[in-house]
């Protein structure tokens, strides 16, 4: 059976329904008798991808791929940061629900420490009304530390206490100096020894998961090289193109490429023929959302129903969950940005959350006017030809057919 690759990309500011799309693609691959693997290719544990099955099982995925409820393993690529404590907490929740997750972590994943989280939060709080919209989980700080300093802590290091202990002390000194120089926060008011011990406990618990193969430390070549058992790669993007580090509206962006760029780079390095046939699945809600600071053109409350299971709620770092009608200009911009990487590849469109619109009509701004359109009219308004268009009226991927 020939291999295939599907890349799931959000067209907005995140929260588009990428978990639903990933779950659906995994279910379809399994129905075809194929062996799928979910690949996380950007972001980190700040993702929140909600999956609900037809039987009512619901989980918000942050450290595992959205195919996990289908018993599909996840590869956590080196483009992603890795938080051992957050992963352990989610693993326990999944196991308590009767799910046995499997995670392949790239040996070179940058590890998020409590010091990255502390710096992230101190800096964002200090910005006051000029906040960037960070979720306060240390993703950007981790990436910056790895890119701009020699203080690199990798997933493979967590097997060696003497190594990660030494590195953690250096990271602590680094952030003590930065926090004291850049913020008014008193770094030394916290019990850092206790937090260091908690980190060590997490590393020890990770070792137990490595011993029973729930988690494996792997290399990129082993996942994509000759002999790999996967017949379908489902690349699960995090956040959306409008937050992309290259294309988003600075400074309200993420330190990540949220387009198809990283996914295609992984394939091109190891399976260029598969990269040339990858299918791109663009996901958008039936309205725009934004969680956190930053521009949201045409922002206005959208009348919604059936939002009881909404994953994103107000929090201390991102504030309220904001909405607005779809802006066709922004959809076209996002699609044009990704075309710089995915030109010539088959493209698909998935519009989610249509069950949340009271009359089933989709509000959108187009050519300077607010329109109420039928969902089937949307593909004709954007500047991209799609191989298929699907519309989701349920929070369960099973409803996509």
385 marked as part of a ligand binding site: no
188 is catalytic: no
* Bond prior to 108 in cis (omega within 30° of 0): no
Neighbours of 276 (CB within 10 A): 13
239 is in an annotated binding site: yes
Helical (H) or strand (E) element with 369: strand 369-373
* Partners of 283 in beta bridges: 10, 350
* 37 and 233 Cβ atoms separated by less than 8 Å: yes
DSSP state of 334: H
Report the b/e string of 31-51 with b at 16+ CB within 10 A.
Answer: eeebebbbbbbbbbbbbbbbb
| Annotated active-site residue in 15, 106, 157, 196 | 15
Q: Is 20 annotated as a binding residue?
A: yes
Would you say 356 is a known binding-site residue? Answer: no
Q: Does 49 participate in catalysis according to the annotation?
A: yes
Residue carrying the six token digits 């978990």: 19
For 86, half-sphere exposure in the C-beta direction (CA atoms, 13 angstrom radius) is: 21
Judged by phi (left if over 0) then psi (alpha if -120 to 50, else beta), residue 126 lies in alpha
**Active-site hit among 6, 45, 49, 366:** 49
Q: Is 354 annotated as a binding residue?
A: yes
Helices (H), strands (E): how many in the chain? 11, 16
Does the annotation flag 49 for ligand binding?
yes
Q: Is 14 annotated as a binding residue?
A: yes
In DSSP notation, 66-106 reads: TTGGGT--EEE-TTS-B-HHHHHHHHHHHHHTT----EEEE
Angle at 250 between CA 249 and CA 255, to 5 degrees: 105
Task: Report residue 366: phi and psi, to 5°.
Answer: -150, 125
57 is in an annotated binding site: no
Ligand-binding annotation for 353, yes or no, is yes
Distance CA 235, CA 9 (A): 9
The token duo for 188 is 């030394």
Binding residues for Mg(2+): 15, 48
- Residues annotated within the binding site for IMP are 15-18, 239, 254
Binding positions are 14-20, 48-50, 239, 254, 353-355
Query: Catalytic residue positions?
Result: 15, 49
- Binding positions for GTP are 14-20, 48-50, 353-355
């Amino acid at each position: 059976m020939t291999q295939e690759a599907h890349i799931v990309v959000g067209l907005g500011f995140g929260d588009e329904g990428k978990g639903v799309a990933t779950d659906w693609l995994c279910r379809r691959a399994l129905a075809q008798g194929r062996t799928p693997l979910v690949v996380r290719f950007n972001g980190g544990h700040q993702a929140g991808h909600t999956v609900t099955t037809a039987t009512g099982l619901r989980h918000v995925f942050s450290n595992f791929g959205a195919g996990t409820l289908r018993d599909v393993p996840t590869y956590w690529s080196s483009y992603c940061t890795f938080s051992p404590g957050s992963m352990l907490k989610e693993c326990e929740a999944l196991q308590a629900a009767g799910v046995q997750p499997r995670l392949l972590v790239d040996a070179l994943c940058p590890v998020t420490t409590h010091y990255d989280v502390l710096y992230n939060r101190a800096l964002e709080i200090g910005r006051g009304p000029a906040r960037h919209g960070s979720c306060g989980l240390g993703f950007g700080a981790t990436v910056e530390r790895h890119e701009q300093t020699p203080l690199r802590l990798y997933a493979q290091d967590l097997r060696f206490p003497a190594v990660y202990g030494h590195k953690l002390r250096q990271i602590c000194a680094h952030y003590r100096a930065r926090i004291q120089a850049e913020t008014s926060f008193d770094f030394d008011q916290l019990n850092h020894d206790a937090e260091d011990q908690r980190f060590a406990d997490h590393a020890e618990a990770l070792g137990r998961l490595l011993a029973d193969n729930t988690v494996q430390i792997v290399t990129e070549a082993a996942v994509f090289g000759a002999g790999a058992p996967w017949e379908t790669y489902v690349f699960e993007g995090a956040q959306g193109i409008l937050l992309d580090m290259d294309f988003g509206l600075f400074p309200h962006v993420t330190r990540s490429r949220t387009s198809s760029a990283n996914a295609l780079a992984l394939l091109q390095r190891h399976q260029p023929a598969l990269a040339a046939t990858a299918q791109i699945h663009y996901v958008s809600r039936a309205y725009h959302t934004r969680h956190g600071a930053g521009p949201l053109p045409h922002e206005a409350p959208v009348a919604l129903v059936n939002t009881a299971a909404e994953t994103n709620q107000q929090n201390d770092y991102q504030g309220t969950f904001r909405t607005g009608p779809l802006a066709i200009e922004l959809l076209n911009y996002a699609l044009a940005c990704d075309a710089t990487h995915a030109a010539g590849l088959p493209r698909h469109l998935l519009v989610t959350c249509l069950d949340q619109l009271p009359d089933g009509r989709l509000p959108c701004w187009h050519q300077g006017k607010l329109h109420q359109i039928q969902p089937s009219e949307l593909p004709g308004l954007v500047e991209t030809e799609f191989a298929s268009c699907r519309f989701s009226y349920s929070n369960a991927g099973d409803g996509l057919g």
